[in-house]
C-alpha cells in the first residue's frame, strides 16, 4: 500500500487553506447560534458529564423537546474552543479548516488503496476544493461532519489491515476499527455507515470473491452438504464481529434517546 508523501500533504494543506482562509473572519450563523452561543455545555462551569447526557444543542435527552442528536465528542471540541477563546469565532473556524485538511489527507490515503498515485492525488485535490463541502467547513456546526468523516476514513483504513498476506485474520485492526466506528458515531450518527463499506471491502476486495463465486459456493454446500471453505468461514467470522458490534452501537444509541423519536416544533 503506497504511502502519502509530505509534499502531497503540503499541497493539500495549501489548497485547503487557500480555499477556506476567509472563513476565519466569519461569525456564528444559523445553527451555530444554538450549538455555540446558547449551549451551556460549552461553559467550564457545566459538569463535563452533561455532554454525555444532553443532545447536540445542550438539551437533556430525556426531555421531549430534545433533538435526540447525540454527538458528545463534537460538543467536547466546541468546549475546548471555548476554553481557548470563549466565544471568539476565529478559533472555531480555524479548527474546522484544519479538520478539513485532515479529512483530505485521509481521503487521499483511502484513494491510494484503489487507485494509482496520480489518480488518487487528483481525486484528493478535487475532494479538497469541491463546493459540496463548503457548508461543513464554513459552518461551525459542520464540525460534526468533519470529525465523523475523519474517524470514518480512519476506521476503514484500519480495517484494510485486518487481512494478512495469506488472507488470515489480524484481530488488532478489527478492534481498532470498532473503536473508531464508535468515535465516528459519537461525532455524528452517520459515522456508523462505514461498517457497510468495510463489509463490502472484506467480501469483494480483501477476499476477492465475486457474486457468481459466492453463489456457486453456497449452492455446492447445499447440494453436497459439505462445509464452507476456510476462507469463506473466515470472512463470515469477520462480518459477524462487525455486524454484532454495529448492533451493540445501535442498541446503545436507542437507549440513549430512550427509544423516543424527536418531536419537531413548527
As a whole number of Å, the end-to-end CA separation of the chain is 51
| Cα dihedral sign, 173-175-181-183 | negative
Q: What was the pLDDT predicted at 226?
A: 64
Q: What is the mean pLDDT of the chain?
A: 91
Q: What was the pLDDT predicted at 255?
A: 86
- Residue in the structure block whose three cell numbers are 437507549: 255
Q: What was the pLDDT predicted at 265?
A: 66
Q: What was the pLDDT predicted at 164?
A: 82
Q: What is the mean pLDDT of residues 39-45?
A: 94
CB-CB neighbours of 37 under 10 Å: 11
pLDDT exceeds 60 at position 140: yes
Burial of residue 98 (number of CB atoms within 10 Å: 0-12, 13-18, 19+): middle
Asked if 187 contacts 74 with a C-beta cutoff of 8 angstroms, the reply is yes
Rounded Cα gap, residues 36 and 78, in angstroms: 7
pTM, 2 dp: 0.91
- Residue in the structure block whose three cell numbers are 496520480: 118
| Cα dihedral sign, 13-19-25-28 | negative
Q: Which residues pair with 54 in a beta bridge?
A: 60
Q: State pLDDT tens for residues 148-179.
A: 999 999 999 999 999 888 778 899 999 999 99
Rounded to 10 deg, the angle between the 89-111 and 117-129 helix axes is: 150
pLDDT exceeds 80 at position 222: no
Rounded Cα gap, residues 42 and 138, in angstroms: 20
Q: What is the mean pLDDT of residues 64-88?
A: 92
Q: What was the pLDDT predicted at 2?
A: 66
Q: State pLDDT tens for residues 195-215.
A: 999 999 998 988 888 888 878
Asked if 115 contacts 79 with a C-beta cutoff of 8 angstroms, the reply is no
Q: What was the pLDDT predicted at 259?
A: 67
- Residue in the structure block whose three cell numbers are 447445499: 222
Percentage of the chain beyond pLDDT 90 is 73
Which one has a higher pLDDT value, 242 or 229?
242
The phi-psi region of residue 58 (left if phi > 0; otherwise alpha if psi is between -120 and 50; otherwise beta) is left
Q: What was the pLDDT predicted at 157?
A: 97
Give the cell for residue 165: 498476506
- Residue in the structure block whose three cell numbers are 461543513: 136
Amino acid at each position: 500500500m503506497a504511502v502519502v508523501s509530505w509534499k502531497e500533504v503540503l499541497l493539500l494543506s495549501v489548497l485547503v487553506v487557500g480555499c477556506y482562509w476567509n472563513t476565519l473572519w466569519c461569525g456564528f450563523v444559523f445553527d451555530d447560534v444554538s450549538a455555540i452561543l446558547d449551549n451551556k455545555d460549552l461553559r467550564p462551569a457545566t459538569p463535563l458529564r452533561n455532554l454525555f447526557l444532553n443532545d447536540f444543542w445542550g438539551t437533556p435527552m430525556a426531555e421531549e423537546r430534545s433533538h435526540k442528536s447525540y454527538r458528545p465528542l463534537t460538543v467536547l471540541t466546541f468546549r475546548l474552543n471555548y476554553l481557548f477563546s470563549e466565544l471568539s469565532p476565529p478559533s472555531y473556524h480555524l479548527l474546522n479548516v484544519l479538520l478539513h485538511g485532515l479529512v483530505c489527507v485521509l481521503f487521499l490515503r483511502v484513494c491510494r488503496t484503489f487507485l494509482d498515485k496520480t489518480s488518487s492525488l487528483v481525486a484528493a485535490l478535487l475532494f479538497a476544493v469541491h463546493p459540496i463541502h463548503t457548508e461543513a467547513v464554513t459552518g461551525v456546526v459542520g464540525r460534526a461532519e468533519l470529525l465523523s468523516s475523519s474517524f470514518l476514513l480512519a476506521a476503514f483504513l484500519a480495517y484494510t489491515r485486518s487481512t494478512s498476506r495469506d488472507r488470515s485474520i489480524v484481530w488488532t485492526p478489527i478492534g481498532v476499527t470498532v473503536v473508531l466506528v464508535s468515535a465516528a458515531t459519537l461525532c455524528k450518527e452517520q459515522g456508523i455507515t462505514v461498517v457497510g463499506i468495510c463489509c463490502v471491502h472484506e467480501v469483494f476486495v480483501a477476499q476477492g470473491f465475486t457474486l457468481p463465486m459466492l453463489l456457486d459456493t453456497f449452492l455446492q454446500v447445499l447440494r453436497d452438504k459439505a462445509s464452507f471453505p476456510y476462507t469463506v468461514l473466515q470472512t463470515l467470522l469477520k462480518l459477524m464481529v462487525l455486524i454484532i458490534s454495529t448492533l451493540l452501537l445501535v442498541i446503545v444509541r436507542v437507549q440513549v434517546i430512550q427509544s423516543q423519536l424527536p418531536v419537531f416544533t413548527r
